[in-house]
């Protein structure tokens, strides 16, 4: 339609007037409502085609009470493990009709604000929460607002989730070192109590201690070092371990990021890896292969990929079940672990 020299956009009211129907009927046709007869639907579609009407995507979203946006709440989303999970999410979203909104959480206060906002304002049609455990009150708010939620790398009994068995992973790491002949095995991880109530580090430690106990090896508290989850903190903690009168011959780090700090400390002190010190990490982030780091591989990309697929399914189908999917862990042996210089007999 034109007004003088300037085109005037065709509106839904123009379509309704030309088709001699109500605006509500045109809206139902645009949204594929079954409440329109085939004859009326075709007539309205013919008018839409004649007038070259192009409905606003925003208006369509609002009319369907949908945002066509998926929210992902992730803590410290620049960490390599989180980035890899987000790559899995993006691989699915890129082929869908949805936009992706990522909420980066760096403080408990920000977590609480975003948990509330995503329910109160209905900003998204669905929510994927990575590594942050919601409280019962959070879950109830999302339920009341009709926002489907799926968890990745964390648990709540009322929500679908994609997880790994961190205790088993810690056990596998320790078992590998024990089979090489190590008996003096230390652990570098996160504090037992964290602001976000993370449990993965302490669960991996529990698995390690279980393996030691099964093989009759007493736990040595001085071999347990914890600090902030970053490379430099792990480097400083390892300096303390290697300064002990009876230093460890192997160190299990709760993440590959921390394992890199362990290896840096060894290099600082002229200690060879793996000849003098074996190092094993957890996650199998991309840099681990470049540094030949032995590690426990967890399917980070797949967890994001399967988590977002599970969310999309839950948005389309109302299901009373709360599925829990556990992804497999694998030991990846590279050149950062070897028998100690004075190896004990191999374990059977």
3-state SS, residue 334: coil
Query: Residues with Cβ < 8 Å from 302, sequence gap 6 or more?
Result: 88, 327
59: left (phi over 0), alpha (psi -120 to 50) or beta: alpha
Which domains, ranges and CATH numbers included, belong to the chain?
2-63 (1.10.260.40), 69-164+301-327 (3.40.50.2300), 166-298 (3.40.50.2300)
Q: How far is CA 202 from CA 70, 149, 208, in A?
A: 31, 26, 10
Beta-bridge mates of residue 280: 252, 294
pLDDT single digits (tens) 68-118: 889 999 998 889 999 999 999 999 998 887 899 999 999 999 999 999 999
**Strands 126-130 and 99-105, bridge-based pairing:** unpaired
Is residue 136 predicted with pLDDT exceeding 80? yes
Predicted pLDDT at 166: 98
* Residue 224 and residue 241 in contact, taking contact as beta carbons nearer than 8 Å: no
Structure tokens at 39: 């004859």
Please report which confidence band the pLDDT of residue 348 belongs to, taking 50, 70 and 90 as the band edges: very low
* Residue 287 and residue 260 in contact, taking contact as beta carbons nearer than 8 Å: yes
Residue 223 is classified by DSSP as G
pLDDT single digits (tens) 119-134: 887 789 999 999 999 9
Closest CA to 105 of 135, 139, 71, 149: 71
pTM: 0.80
**Strands 250-253 and 185-189, bridge-based pairing:** parallel
């Amino acid at each position: 339609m034109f007004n003088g020299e300037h085109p005037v956009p065709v509106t839904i009211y123009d379509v309704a007037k030309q088709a001699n129907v109500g605006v509500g009927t045109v809206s139902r046709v645009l949204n594929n409502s079954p409440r329109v007869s085939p004859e009326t639907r075709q007539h309205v579609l013919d008018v839409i085609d004649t007038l070259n009407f192009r409905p606003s995507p925003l208006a369509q979203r609002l009319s369907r009470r949908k945002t066509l946006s998926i929210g992902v709440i992730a803590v410290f989303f620049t960490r390599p493990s989180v980035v890899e999970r987000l790559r899995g999410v993006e691989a699915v979203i890129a082929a869908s009709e949805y936009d992706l909104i990522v909420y980066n959480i760096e403080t408990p206060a920000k977590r609480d604000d975003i948990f509330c906002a995503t329910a109160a304002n209905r900003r998204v049609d669905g929510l994927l929460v990575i590594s942050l455990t919601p409280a019962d009150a959070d879950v109830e708010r999302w339920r009341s607002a009709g926002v489907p939620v799926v968890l990745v790398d964390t648990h709540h009994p009322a929500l679908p989730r994609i997880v790994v068995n961190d205790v088993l992973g810690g056990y596998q790491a320790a078992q590998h070192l024990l089979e090489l002949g190590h008996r003096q095995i230390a652990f570098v991880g996160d504090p037992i109590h964290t602001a976000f109530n993370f449990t993965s580090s302490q669960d991996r430690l529990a698995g390690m201690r279980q393996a030691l106990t099964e093989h009759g090896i007493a736990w040595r508290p001085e071999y347990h070092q914890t600090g902030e989850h970053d490379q430099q903190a792990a480097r400083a903690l390892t300096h303390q371990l290697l300064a002990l009168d009876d230093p460890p011959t192997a160190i299990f780090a709760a993440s590959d990021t921390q394992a890199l700090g362990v290896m840096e400390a060894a290099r600082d002190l002229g200690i060879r890896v793996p000849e003098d010190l074996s190092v094993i990490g957890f996650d199998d982030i991309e840099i681990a292969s470049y540094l030949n780091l032995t590690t426990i591989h967890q399917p980070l990309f797949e967890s994001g990929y399967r988590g977002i697929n599970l969310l999309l399914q839950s948005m389309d189908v109302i299901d009373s079940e709360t599925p829990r999917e556990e992804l497999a862990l694998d030991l990846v042996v590279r050149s950062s672990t070897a028998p100690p210089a004075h190896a004990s007999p191999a374990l059977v």
